[in-house]
Homo-oligomer: A and B are copies of this chain.
């Protein structure tokens, strides 16, 4: 499928590429191709060799892990995001299965070209390192969330994070099916249901996918959110990488601090 110039611009605007030279960008995107996938398509299977860096331009994709006939979703990606960067950098097998949740436009960049570009363009290599750092920190947050909090607390914090990211309005709509949310939060759909029921006592009303947080203070007292686990960075309009998410000045702006 041909790449439209508009798509190319969106990729160029990614933090990953916004700083690299024109030559690097041309080299990396030369053999690229854009593809549209229907919902439920498996893009990459756990253990597959990874030949491409994927860029989600439109749609939603889920990263999941499997063991012993059980599966769990590790992350849910929205546009514009790259994924399986780490496997590409190391030229290793993928550790996660990638699957579309909705119809998605996905750009595929040659992994070999990426690695070549890193060696040639220090700015690009730095951008890759920054993106990876952001991904890493995201996972640290997820792991702490999983090991330190119980199911109800995870849901409460998810709702608070979602609220601020969607603009801060007291009522918003869940971006995914509840069964997907359950897997992301590390619980069964049944227990997610019960957790929502429990949160009624804390001012959380739900009607289908519509959620309204009636008494934020009460919910927060239960959730005890902290910047060491929860990243309340609002999703701004422009395309943003995982790195920028982590740059958010939690306490005091340090851009000129050192």
A residues at B contact (CB < 8 Å): 46-47, 49, 51, 65-68, 70-72, 74, 85-87, 89-93, 95-96, 111-112, 118-123, 125-126, 128-130, 132-137, 139-144, 146-149, 186, 224, 226-229, 243, 246-247, 250-251, 254, 257-258
Contact = CB atoms under 8 A, between A and B. Distances in A.
A246 B89 CA distance: 11
B91 A258 contact: yes
A93 B246 CA distance: 9
Copies of chain A in the complex = 2
Given A67-B226, A74-B144, A90 B246 contact: yes
A65 B140 contact: yes
Contacts of A229: 65, 67
B139 A186 contact: no
A133 B89 contact: yes
Contacts of A246: 90, 92
Contacts of A250: 47, 93
A65 B228 contact: yes
The residue in A132, A149, A224, A246 that gathers the most chain B C-beta atoms within 10 A of its C-beta is A132
Nearest to A139: B139
Contacts of A66: 148, 228
A67 B149 contact: yes
Contacts of A74: 140, 143-144, 147
B92 A148 contact: no
Contact of A140 (B85, B95, B125): B95
A45 to B, nearest CB: 10
The residue in A70, A144, A146 that gathers the most chain B C-beta atoms within 10 A of its C-beta is A144
A228 B47 contact: yes
A134 B123 CA distance: 21
A141 B144 CA distance: 14
11 contacts: A46-B228, A67-B149, A70-B148, A74-B143, A85-B133, A86-B137, A91-B258, A95-B137, A95-B228, A96-B140, A120-B122
